[in-house]
Amino acid sequence: MRSRLWGGPAEVLEYLARYTHKVAISNDRIVGLHDDRVAFRVRDAAAANHRRTVELPAVEFIGRFLSHVLPAGFKRIRHFGLLASRHKTAKLAVCRALSDLPPPAPLVIESVAAFMTRAAQLDVTRCPCCESGRLVLCGPLAPVRRSLTQHPA
């Protein structure tokens, strides 16, 4: 039976095969956010994979990104063999040694504040009220649960 949404098993397999080893877009490809538009780098297959910058309305960008999120119940394909999680670090170190490759550079994880400053030129630590003070994270707040029959005060 063919699915009206996907067109059939072949189309589903082709779609999933493109996204088993990567995310829809990495932070490094996002160039900036200006006037509710997102600019990001792409490779243009029609122009011999030359890189160019594309700018989309933020709502359309988010919609395209969310179209790559797997539906509930779907799982990414797990790695087996050389890339299995249990011994991956040790096995890759042996492969690098046998190939005379240097060890990888340490992974640098960018903070949200640094990413927003780089991508959107937005200082998320600045107070939105006075625009001169700094917001300091003290800790998470527990969610407030209200009854459906209770009216806000």
Instruction: Write out pLDDT tens, residues 6-35.
Output: 677 777 777 766 666 567 788 888 999 988
pLDDT at 108 > cutoff 80: yes
- Backbone dihedral angles phi then psi of residue 58, each to the nearest 5 degrees: -55, -40
CA–CA dist 128, 131 (Å, integer) = 5
Task: Yes or no: say if 54 and 40 are a contact pair by the CB < 8 Å rule.
Answer: yes
Tell me what the mean pLDDT of segment 86-114 comes to.
Answer: 86
DSSP summary character for residue 80: -
Task: Yes or no: say if 104 and 89 are a contact pair by the CB < 8 Å rule.
Answer: no
Task: Yes or no: say if 83 and 90 are a contact pair by the CB < 8 Å rule.
Answer: no
Q: pLDDT band at residue 150, thresholds of 50, 70 and 90? A: low
pTM above 0.75, yes or no: no
